Structure 1
Amino acid sequence: MNKKLALLLSVFLLSALPAAAQTEPPAFSFVQQMLLGFSGREVAVGIRLDSAGDASQPVTAQLRDEQGQVLGQLSLFEGKGQKVLLHIKPGWTGAKYLSVWRNGQKLSSDLLLVCDNLASKELRRVDNGHQQLAITFSASFNDYYVLEFLDLLNQYQAKATFFLSAEFAFRNPDTVREVLSRGHQLGSHSFSHLDLTKEDNLKIHSEIVRSLDMLEKVSGTRPQVFKPPFSYYNERIRAISRALGCEAVKWSLDSMDWNPEYPAWRIAARTLKKAQAGDIVQFHFGAKTLEAMQTILPAWQEAGYELVTLDTMLSPGPYQVDEEGRAHFPKP
Structure 2
Amino acid sequence: MSIATGIGSMPGTDFAESLRLVMGEVGDFVYVPELPARGVHAGMIGRTLAVLDGLDADLQPDGWRVGVGEGVDQRRARSLLAQDLDVAEELAGTHDGPLKLQVTGPLTLAASVERPRGDKMLADHGARREIAESLAEGLRAHVADARRRFPDAELVVQVDEPSIVPVLTGGIPTASGFSRHRSVHPPEADALLRLVTEAITGAGARPVVHSCAPDVPVELLAGAGFSAIAFDLSLARPDDIWAETFEQGTDLWLGVVPSTDTTGVTNTALVTRIAAFFGRFGFDEEAYAARLVVTPTCGLAGASPAWAREALVLAQRVAAG
The structure with the greater share of residues assigned to strand is 1
TM-score by length of 2: 0.37
In terms of Rg, which structure is larger? 1
The structure with the greater share of residues assigned to helix is 2
